[in-house]
């Protein structure tokens, strides 16, 4: 640990620097943590975690669902504890900044990791000493870092290191994902591992699926059912298989504007006490990806709450929780006599979810305006191809979604023989691409249009949605 005087100086300097946040670009959210760690050294984070958090901290990571899950957990636990928290946190400096700001009882921190070098997950685990690490899923969409391809195995390893030195804590992990199950299995000797997932006998997957290799032996996994991308019921000849579920969705019934779900919970909490109940909920039509987020939230809350009325608390929470569509995320709009689905779909999971929502709102014919990935993102394209095939659009329009026009044209070449497809090589210009999409919508003869794929992250999609909504004003 850091010398006490040096630690106090680093801590106070970091807090003082927070006064500059309002004048720094994008609010400078990481600046106080950066100042503190530069003065006191990296180990200052360990002192901050020890001195600023009374009960302990949990870290939430994964490829998809981190922000939604973290946001729900913060709302739930804020009724029980004084919290320190971060949402959208991807650096040691952001985490340090949150710890600097105040003392609290409990910490809830989202921590995104793309590689070991930049995410330093083993260091974070050593210093923060979390009492829980929560895994949403690990899929192959975020393996590129600063333009450099990071092997998927290294990506999985980076995620696993976030719980690598945790003692006496709880791992909450998605049993439907073989990658997060593998992490859980490797932690069972030292940690209580809580597995969550789906247990649906009548589920039908409309997508073809890419082969998934066993994380234990690298042979091909055999799937009894696929729920979403690599998530499902799987087994391998080496003996690796989906484990018994502690938190499971046993009913998922979609209605016109809502869905009825039943969730069964049977686990051992952080204090070693048994927790068992059945939860019946009526939720908005939030998509299967958000059902997974709800399961993650329910499992985590059940493990770490000291509340004796868990079922009633969760019932009340979900009955009153507003599932807000974040900026840039997929929405179904009714504009100019057309049904238009528009929003970010920059990974396999996201575009599949968007496709499922669009399929439920189709008219008589469909046009798909697909914005492509970049160079070195072939794996994303492969997953996107499956979603496009599942929707089988009457017309396919292909446009660059990211920087490379060359990569975009190569992806188009792989699509054009399977669909009635057209390619528009619009330059890497925010305004030009939005204007082109609006032009295509106005010229389209189809009553249903989906616009999704890759883009300039949230800003592009949010601005595009605003422009589409304006079409009804003219």
In angstroms, the CA 155 to CA 166 distance is 19
**Structural contact between residues 368 and 388, judged by C-beta atoms closer than 8 angstroms:** yes
Outline where DSSP puts E strands in 318-461. Answer: 331-335, 338-344, 366-372, 395-400, 421-423, 448-453
User: Which tokens go with 124?
Assistant: 């974070």
Q: Which residues are paired to 193 by β-bridges?
A: 171
Please give the CATH superfamily to which domain 4-320 belongs.
Mur-like, catalytic domain (3.40.1190.10)
For the chain, 474 residues long, give each residue's pLDDT as a single digit of tens.
566 766 565 555 556 666 566 555 545 567 776 777 788 788 888 888 999 999 999 999 998 889 899 999 999 999 999 999 999 767 888 888 888 889 999 999 999 887 887 878 999 999 999 999 999 999 876 555 555 566 888 899 999 999 999 999 999 999 999 999 999 999 999 999 999 999 998 887 777 777 899 999 999 999 999 998 889 999 999 999 999 999 999 999 988 778 899 999 999 999 999 999 999 999 987 888 899 999 999 999 999 999 999 999 999 999 999 886 666 678 889 988 899 999 988 888 888 888 888 887 777 899 999 999 999 888 889 989 999 999 999 999 999 999 999 999 999 999 999 999 999 999 988 899 999 999 999 999 999 999 999 987 678 898 999 999 988 765
Question: Which H or E run contains 144?
Answer: strand 144-145
**The residue to which tokens 């192959």 are assigned:** 140
DSSP for 14-56, please give it.
HHHHGGGGGGSGGGGTTHHHHHHHHHH-TTHHHHHHHHHEEEE
Question: Which H or E run contains 430?
Answer: helix 430-443
Query: What is the DSSP pairing of strand 170-174 with strand 132-135?
Result: parallel
Neighbours of 461 (CB within 10 A): 26
Distance of CA 324 to the CA centre of its chain: 15
**Structural contact between residues 383 and 347, judged by C-beta atoms closer than 8 angstroms:** yes
HSE-CB of 10 using CA atoms within 13 angstroms: 26
SS3 (DSSP) at 133: strand
In angstroms, the CA 182 to CA 242 distance is 9
Question: What pLDDT is stored for residue 209 in this prediction?
Answer: 75
User: Which tokens go with 165?
Assistant: 């030195």
**Structural contact between residues 85 and 109, judged by C-beta atoms closer than 8 angstroms:** yes
In angstroms, the CA 207 to CA 217 distance is 26
Q: Which residues are paired to 225 by β-bridges?
A: 233
In angstroms, the CA 335 to CA 355 distance is 19
**The residue to which tokens 């990506």 are assigned:** 155
Domain residue ranges of the chain, discontinuous segments joined by +: 4-320, 331-473
Nearest CA among 371, 352, 360, 363 for reference residue 447 = 363
* Residues whose CB falls within 8 Å of the CB of residue 73, separated by 6 or more in sequence, listed in order: 58, 60, 108, 297, 300, 301
Neighbours of 129 (CB within 10 A): 18
* Residues whose CB falls within 8 Å of the CB of residue 105, separated by 6 or more in sequence, listed in order: 53, 54, 55, 81, 82, 83
CATH of 331-473, one of 3.60.20.40, 3.90.190.20, 3.30.565.10, 3.90.930.12: 3.90.190.20
First to last CA, the chain: 64
């Amino acid at each position: 640990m850091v010398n006490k005087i040096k630690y106090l100086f680093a801590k106070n300097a970091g807090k003082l620097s927070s006064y500059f946040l309002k004048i720094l670009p994008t609010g400078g959210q990481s600046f106080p943590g950066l100042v503190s760690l530069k003065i006191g050294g990296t180990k200052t984070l360990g002192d901050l975690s020890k001195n600023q958090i009374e009960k302990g901290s949990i870290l939430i990571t994964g490829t998809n669902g981190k922000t939604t899950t973290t946001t729900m957990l913060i709302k739930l636990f804020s009724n029980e504890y004084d919290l320190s928290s971060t949402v959208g946190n991807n650096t040691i400096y952001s985490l340090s900044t949150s710890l600097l700001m105040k003392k609290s009882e409990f910490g809830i921190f989202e921590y995104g990791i793309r590689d070991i070098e930049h995410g330093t997950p083993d260091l974070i685990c050593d210093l923060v000493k979390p009492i829980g690490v929560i895994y949403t899923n690990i899929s192959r969409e975020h393996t590129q870092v600063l333009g450099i391809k990071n092997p998927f195995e290294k990506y999985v390893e980076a995620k696993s290191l976030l719980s690598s030195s945790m003692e006496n804590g709880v791992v909450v992990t998605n049993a439907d994902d073989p990658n997060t199950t593998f992490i859980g299995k490797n932690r069972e000797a030292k940690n209580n591992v809580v597995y969550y997932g789906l247990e649906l006998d009548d589920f039908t997957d409309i997508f073809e699926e890419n082969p998934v290799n066993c994380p234990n032996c690298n042979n091909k996994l055999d799937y009894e059912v696929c729920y979403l991308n690599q998530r499902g019921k799987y087994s391998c000849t080496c003996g690796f298989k989906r484990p018994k579920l502690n938190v499971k969705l046993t009913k998922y019934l979609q209605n016109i504007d809502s869905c009825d779900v039943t969730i069964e919970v049977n686990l051992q909490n952080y204090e070693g006490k048994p927790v068992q109940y059945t939860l019946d909920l009526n939720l908005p039509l939030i998509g299967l990806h958000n059902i997974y987020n709800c399961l993650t939230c329910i499992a985590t809350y059940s493990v770490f709450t000291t509340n004796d009325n868990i079922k009633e608390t969760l019932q009340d929470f979900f009955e009153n929780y507003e599932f807000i569509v974040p900026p840039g995320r997929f929405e179904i709009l009714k504009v100019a006599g057309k049904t238009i689905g528009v929003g970010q779909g920059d990974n396999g999971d996201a575009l599949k979810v968007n496709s499922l929502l669009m399929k439920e709102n189709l008219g008589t014919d469909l046009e798909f305006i697909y914005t492509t990935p970049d160079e070195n993102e072939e794996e994303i394209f492969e997953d996107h191809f499956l979603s496009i095939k599942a929707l089988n659009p009457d017309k396919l329009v292909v446009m660059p979604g990211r920087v490379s026009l060359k990569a975009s044209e190569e992806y188009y070449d792989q699509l054009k023989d399977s669909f009635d497809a057209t390619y528009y090589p619009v330059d890497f210009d925010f305004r030009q691409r939005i204007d082109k999409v609006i032009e295509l919508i106005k010229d389209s003869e189809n009553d249903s249009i989906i616009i999704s794929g890759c883009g300039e992250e949230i800003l592009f999609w949010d601005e595009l949605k605003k422009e589409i909504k304006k079409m009804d004003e003219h």
